[in-house]
Amino acid sequence: MQQSRSLIALMLLILIVFSAHAQEEAWSVRGNVIDASDTTALVGATVLMINIKDSTRTRFAVTENDGSFVVSDLEQAFYRLQISSVGYKTYRRVMRLTVPEATLGTLSLEQYVKVLDEISVEGEVVPMEQLGDTTQYNADAFKTNPDASATDLVSKMPGIVVDGDGVSANGESIEQVLLDGKRFFGQDPLLSLNTIPADMVDKIQVYDEESDQAQLTGFDDGNTIKTMNVVTKEDRRNGQFGKAYAGYGTENLYEAGVTINSFNQDQRITLLGMTNNINQQNFGSEDLAQVSGGRGSFRRGGGDNNFITGVQDGITRTHSLGINFTDSWGEKATFEGSYFFNQTNNSSDQLLSRESSLATGQQFYDQNQRATTKNLNHRLNTRIDYQINDNNNLLLRSAISYQNNQSSENTSGQTTLADGELLSETDNNYSSLNQAYSISNDLIYQHKFSKIGRTISLEVNSRISPTRRESYLEDLVLDSLTEYLTDEGQYTLGSSVVYTEPIGTLAQLAMKYEVSHTSRQSDRDTYTLQEGDAVKSFSEVLSNDFTSGYTIHSPSVRYSIRQFGSHFNAELGFQRAILSNRQFLPTEGQSTRHFNSLLPSITSRFELSDNANLFVRYATSTTEPSVSQLQGVLDNSDPLFLSVGNPNLDQTYSHSLRLRFQKNNVDRNTSLANFTNVTASSDYISNSTTIVSEDSISAGGIVFQEGAQLTTPVNLDGYWNVQNNTTYGVLISPLKSNLNASIGLGYQRLPGMINDEENIANAYSANARVGLASNISEKIDYNIYYQINGSRVLNSLQSGSNSQYYTQTLGAKLNLIFGKGFVFRNETYFQRYTGANDQFDTDYTLWNMGIAKKFLKDDRGELELSVFDLLGQNQSFDQTVSAQYLEETQTEVLQRYFMLTFTYQLRRFEKGSS
């Protein structure tokens, strides 16, 4: 009955809102203009508001006797503000008008007092501009090779760094790349930038993009994505461009690929494909690891590979195909879509060393694993934006994926004490066949009322993601075979309604109600076969039948006030969460948990000056435990590292604070930024690890070896994560180069349990990096950098297990065009690694070199002879820190080979383009 009343009340509210009326308000901008030297009012100054999208909508005003002005009859759009007066320097600024009555405050004009004996006019492109909350780089100010990609271009810009982890701007990761404001290959920034030629780019814009909901309603909900928008040159928006390449090398190594783009104003098609057996993987990581084939997680390479992107550990053969399509369907609808097919075959040999912290001392585990993985993936993403009319809009986002994964592993490992005494060992074969698919949809309907700022929107989302696994464990020590047949699934349905109402001329109020339900199930049948047995036996203790439901109801209210250059948002939300678990195997039981949480948040942005701003965000959130963490079934697929779930887990409650200061000096072409992230969590889901003290057999016949570890998730308080990063970028004119420098500090407090005793792992980290990229000419292109990363871990339970490790990296890249179409390319990458375990201490040099000759018309063709890893020293390693252990791995990678490659560049634009 109560739910029916709530539903009726909600429907009445919507009906009342839809029946409301208000007159349209005329938008305006007001302010004051003064003399910068003596602060007197400037009379008769001309104030222009130039509509960037439609110059015919330009409006102006003249300042009064007190220097005040009001520019009326404006609209919600981007404007170029220009204030001019005789004898004064012209004031220019780009602004986005987001409120009906914007107040600019007092604006100062500087007197133009410079006297010139001789007038000399020299055109020069301004490298960087600050346009409100957007940093804009002008591509013509940066020199690149003729066949460079947008990746090469942005790496020369102040504050932007491209490395093995992706693309970052002022220390923050770029999460998506847009092409002329439209999504390009989903959420893969490196793939997008590698596909776009540098000579097509007019401008690069970096900003925080608001969520779809915020863009539709005009109300900032605090959810933003760090975005890079690539603006193309007007004469490059109609035509075909791309490249095709093929190469063959020693030891039957090969690579081939093609990228074709066809642009016709709003209609844009990009087709790309590749095949190789040299570890090149240019699609997203979800193509590799959506379904984990083995028992461990997917790992990257050890080094910060700054220039050779998309390289996997092990030896990999890849076949990939992708297409991206965008178009405007009439004046009301736009379509964006992409499809990817990816097939990889990977083999790797990995060494692992793990050091566990115990109250009685240290325990060591060393492992050698040989693995092969075959992965096949299809992904389809679409986005349809339909503007029904001026007041109604419909947005539909859909994603479909399918993955088939096969893997096999041979693992041998030993557990020893500090004195070398052997506790236990394992030698096993593990194989797995996994199939999964996922379908998700998100539909947003939004209505704008006649009163500016009054909107209502409804969002409905759904997701289904079932998975099927068939796995086998052959224990060569115990002479046993175990079969696992697992069906898992997750099904989510949610909706929300948001109503916004303007308050005065500068503020808005938003009321939101959100409800969602997620149903999760896991069904695993386990069969065992001992040596000499003729038939397999069902193992009830290793089998599982488990369902979990998670429902949330969350009303919230948000207040927002926005002025030119700054805004402030405050939100208070309440979340009622219900977690229901039911288990049938290995034991029967059910439980229902209720969680009530207040979720406050504050977001603010202050414009400190024309080129400096401060961003502050405090937020709270909750995280529910996963199915694997909840289900109380023993997982013995790794005989020395067993695990079991905990159905009594609580949700995690977190506080997060984000501070970001940014200052861009456009006159000196410098970029300075500092950001700090702080996260503190209560009921943090950590692990409780029990070390088996002696060989034993459970009531269900499960063997526990001495020294083996049994891990169970538990809730613990006291988790902290603090990260601080400062970046500085500057164009050094005498060197015609761009300098980027950064320094970072970090601290993590990781609580955990070992043998029922709490251990706090305090992890301290620091890193510094300095890089220099050339801006000399189109024929000389270099990029050098030095980086050092270090970490120290202090354990409260056993100080003898404290450890530290660090890496030093020196990288250099040179592209030199000389003679009649000759190109010399060189990449050198030196790394020294000093780990917690002397076993992995190493240094190596990865040296790649190539010589190429360009030919055909306009140098469209190129033949290159190259060598990868000239010295044969390439290596890969990784580190993992937790409250229970420190782990280091070293993985087999591809080493020296020679290759001859032919590349053809396609450039065909409409008449008037080159």
Mean pLDDT of successive 10-residue stretches along the chain, which has 914 residues: 43 40 60 87 80 64 83 80 77 77 86 49 64 82 90 89 83 87 77 89 88 67 83 88 96 95 89 92 52 39 32 81 91 91 94 84 91 94 93 94 96 92 94 96 93 90 96 91 95 96 86 97 92 82 95 96 79 97 92 96 86 91 94 91 94 96 84 94 96 85 88 97 94 87 96 93 95 91 94 83 86 94 95 80 93 94 96 88 85 93 91 49
2 membership: H or E segment, kind and range: helix 2-18
- How many Cβ atoms are within 10 Å of 504's Cβ, its own excluded? 11
Residue 164, amino acid:
G
Tokens of 329: 């369907």
Tokens linked to 396: 């539909």
Q: Alpha-carbon distance 829 to 850, whole Å?
A: 15
Q: Which single residue is written with the structure tokens 């508001």?
A: 49
Burial profile 410-433: b = 16 or more Cβ within 10 angstroms, e = fewer: bbebbbbeeeeeebbbbbbebbbb
- Collapsing DSSP to helix, strand or coil, 4 comes out as helix
Cis status of the peptide bond prior to 466, with omega within 30 of 0: no
CA 383/CA 333 separation, integer angstroms: 10
**How far is the C-alpha of 524 from the C-alpha of 633, rounded, in Å?**
9
Instruction: Report how far residue 410's alpha carbon sits from residue 349's, in angstroms, rounded to the nearest whole number.
Output: 10
What are the structure tokens assigned to 654, written together?
A: 């977190």
Of 201, 191, 273, give the one whose Cα is nearest residue 230: 201
Q: Residue 700 has what pLDDT?
A: 75
Alpha-carbon 793 to chain mean position: 27
Q: Could you give the 3-state DSSP secondary structure of residue 11?
A: helix
Residue 418 has what pLDDT?
Answer: 85
Nearest to 571 by CA among 624, 509, 529, 513: 509
List Cα–Cα distances, 191 to 157, 166, 205, 324, 841, in angstroms. Answer: 19, 10, 18, 12, 33
Residue 332 sits at φ, ψ, to 5 deg, of -110, -20
Q: What angle do CA 56, 182, 144 make, to 5 degrees?
A: 95
> What's the pLDDT at 87?
67
∠ CA 888-894-897, rounded to 5°: 150
DSSP H or E run through 494: strand 480-503
Contact 651, 594 (CB under 8 A): no
CA 51, CA 181: separation in Å to the nearest integer? Answer: 18
pLDDT at residue 14, rounded to an integer:
41
pTM (predicted TM-score): 0.83
CA dist 851 and 52 (Å) reads: 46
Dihedral pair phi/psi, residue 171, rounded to 5°: 85, -5
Phi and psi, residue 17, nearest 5°: -65, -45
- Whether the Cβ atoms of residue 362 and residue 397 lie closer than 8 Å to each other: no
Name the strand (E) or helix (H) holding 9. helix 2-18
Q: How far is CA 120 from CA 114, 124, 383, in A?
A: 13, 13, 52
- Cβ atoms of 858 and 146 within 8 Å: the answer is no
- Answer positive or negative: Cα dihedral of 310, 311, 314, 320: positive
Q: Which residue in 443, 323, 319 sits closest to 393, CA to CA?
A: 443
- The pLDDT of residue 815 is 94
Q: Where are the beta strands (DSSP E) in 819-896?
A: 822-834, 842-855, 861-868, 877-881, 885-891
Residue type, 204: I
Q: Supply the pLDDT for residue 565.
A: 62
- Predicted confidence at residue 59, as pLDDT, reads 78
Q: Is the separation of the CB atoms in 334 and 327 below 8 Å?
A: yes
Local structure of 873: helix, strand or coil: coil
Comparing CA positions, the residue from 319, 408, 412 lying closest to residue 371 is 408
- The Cα 92–Cα 766 span in angstroms is 41
β-strands 176-179, 182-183: how paired? Answer: antiparallel
Name residue 411's beta-bridge partners.
369, 428
Mention every residue, 6+ apart, whose C-beta is less than 8 A from residue 789. 304, 765, 766, 767, 806, 807
* β-strands 684-691, 737-754 pairing: parallel
Using CA atoms, how far residue 894 sits from 537, 786, 809, in Å, is: 43, 24, 19
H/E run at residue 345:
strand 333-358
323/185 Cα distance (integer angstroms): 8
Say which amino acid occupies 115. V
DSSP state of 115: -
Cα dist from 108 to 38, 405, 564, 846, 862, whole Å: 10, 64, 16, 55, 55
Q: Are 90 and 15 in contact (CB under 8 A)?
A: no
Instruction: For residue 628, give the H/E element and its range.
Output: helix 627-630
Which letter does DSSP use for residue 746 in this model?
E
Strand-pair category, 757-774 with 737-754: antiparallel
pLDDT of residue 419: 86
Give the pLDDT of residue 222.
66
Let me know the angle formed at the C-alpha of 592 by 590 and 597, rounded to the nearest 5 degrees: 155
Amino acid identity of 733?
Answer: S
State how far the Cα of 45 lies from the Cα of 65, in Å rounded to an integer: 10
- Residue 302: the pLDDT is 30
* Residue appearing with tokens 């599982």: 544
What is the rounded distance in angstroms from the CA atom of residue 816 to the CA atom of residue 780?
5
Backbone angles phi, psi at 195, to 5 degrees: -85, -25
Pairing of strands 641-644, 709-716: parallel
Looking at this protein, which amino acid is placed at residue 829?
Y
Q: Which amino acid makes up residue 380?
A: L
CA dist 867 → 93, 247, 368, 821, 900 (Å): 50, 12, 30, 20, 9
Q: Tell me if 314 sits within 8 A of 346, measured CB to CB.
A: yes
